[in-house]
Chains A and B, each alone.
Chain A
Amino acid sequence: MKITNSEYNEMLKASSPKTKLHKTLPKAFFVGGLICVAGEAFLHLYMRYGAGKETAAALTSITLIGLAAILTGFKVYDKLAKHAGAGTIVPITGFANAVVAPALEFKTEGFILGVGAKMFVIAGPVIVYGIAASVLYGLIYYIMGTVMG
């Protein structure tokens, strides 16, 4: 029996398990939503204790990042993420996890070439293209501002 590549890929597609969207979507929605609710709660808490809206927002981000980093260190975050998927990756906490996880993993290769170099192996591209996009956005904003007066 000679199988062509397309036949083989058909067979593969037919027999491979598929993502169960009816299970994964609600879980991601629920957990991601809860993280946002926690963020809202922190925001209100900080504002109640006298922080301005901008300061409170910054403090909220810092708190969520800190919590996610600590939970990653305790090996809790990845267990939660196993169920939550995008619900834990998309919020700012996912970004914290993506930096802390490789930092932990590569500690065995030393602090310079291990932790230091490998820490951004996942988050690096997001930072690079995020900054590049913001530069581009800034340029457009500046030019539009000059032209429109």
Chain B
Amino acid sequence: MGNYYGKGTINLDNAPSVLSYASAVGPKEGKGPLADYFDYIGEEAALGEDGSWEKAEVVLQKNAFRTALEKGRLAETDISFIFAGDLLNQCTCSSYGGRDFDIPFIGLFGACSTMAESLALASVFVEAGVAQNAAAMTSSHFCSAERQFRFPLNYGGQRTPTAQWTATAAGCVVVAPRKNPPYIKAVTFGKVTDMGVKDVNNIRYTHICHKHTSVRASLRLLLFRQKRPVILQIMVVYINPPHKQGQQVSFLVLVRQVPQIARVFKNRTELVNVFIRQYI
């Protein structure tokens, strides 16, 4: 049974496993440096849907979920709960995605932290033994986010130099009772912090300030105290299964389409260094 470690961190003694994971992205992400790691790359932003960008986002989310099930050799009935959310009002895309599945659905909104939030909650549910397998999922679409938060796509406004590009992507992670690595040994929930950043376009910094405290706590706890590989998550994380204890672990941290941050970490030291530079 898990226990409260303090400062928003919960230790998971049974350490649930990440059974499978999948990602589905749009064309721009498919041309990026992380392309090899995605399970599905759409050819165009509309992803075969002509109705709306929201519909395209639903396609991505359903794709990620189905692929994660396939990769874990699971059936829909094996999933006890779906924890999912997205950036839009009333979590439109997650709700419309969940409509197709006969699975209890827990809608979440954590903006950019929804993936971490859903993964943490799914892990705690599995740890507590109240869920057999739980799916954690999130999605965003550049066009649907622009429409909700910024300007119409064809509006001739210039983006500020600090503006970010919302990823057209969906990710799904299936958490299951302890079996094979990677394990989730602890989760940390961040606090709401206001660092007085006035530039609404500078999402990188507005979000980092939300996270830097919790990330620092997690880093210290997870990377320095624990000997085994762990999941550490900022936006969307894909981890290659580690070979042996103590060997290098591949961490892949995708933080939107920000070239300075989006990169592949080769080993634990580099990850720690980069995180400390970027976030702490």
Q: Which of A12, A72, A81, A106 contacts B202 (CB 8 A)?
A: A12
Q: Are A101 and B154 in contact (CB under 8 A)?
A: yes
Judged by a CB distance under 8 angstroms, whether B157 is at the interface is yes
The answer, yes or no, to whether A75 is at the interface (CB within 8 Å) is yes
> A105 to B154, Cβ gap below 8 A?
yes
- Interface: B77 (CB within 8 A): no
Contacts of A80 in B (CB 8 A): 156
The answer to whether B197 has its CB under 8 Å from any CB of chain A is yes
Question: Are A8 and B156 in contact (CB-based, < 8 A)?
Answer: no
In the complex, are the beta carbons of A105 and B152 less than 8 A apart? yes
Q: Do A94 and B153 touch across chains, with their CB atoms under 8 A apart? A: no
Instruction: Tell me the nearest residue of chain A to B260, going by C-beta.
Output: A15
Which residue from chain A places its CB closest to the CB of B209 in the assembled complex?
A8
Residues of chain B with a CB closer than 8 A to A60's CB: none
Determine the distance from Cα of A69 to Cα of B142 in the docked complex, in whole angstroms.
Answer: 24
Known: A8-B196, A12-B197, A12-B205. A17 touches B162 (CB 8 A): yes
Contact of A104 among B152, B161, B162, B205 (CB under 8 A): B152
Answer whether A78 and B161 are a contact pair too, CB < 8 Å, given A1-B280, A12-B202.
no
Are B195 and A9 touching (Cβ within 8 A)?
yes
Q: Which B residues between 129 and 165 are near A, CB-CB below 8 angstroms?
A: 147, 151-162
Is the CB–CB distance between A108 and B52 below 8 Å?
yes
Q: Does B6 contact A (CB under 8 A)?
A: no
B246 within 8 A of A: no
> Is the CB–CB distance between B151 and A101 below 8 Å?
yes
A8 to B195, CA, bound (A): 7
Q: Which residues of A contact B151 (CB under 8 A)?
A: 101, 122
Interface string of B30-52 (1 = CB under 8 A from A): 00000000000000000000011
Query: B-contacting residues of A (Cβ < 8 Å)?
Result: 1, 3, 5-6, 8-9, 12, 16-20, 24, 72, 75, 77-78, 80-82, 84-85, 88-89, 94, 97-98, 100-102, 104-106, 108, 122
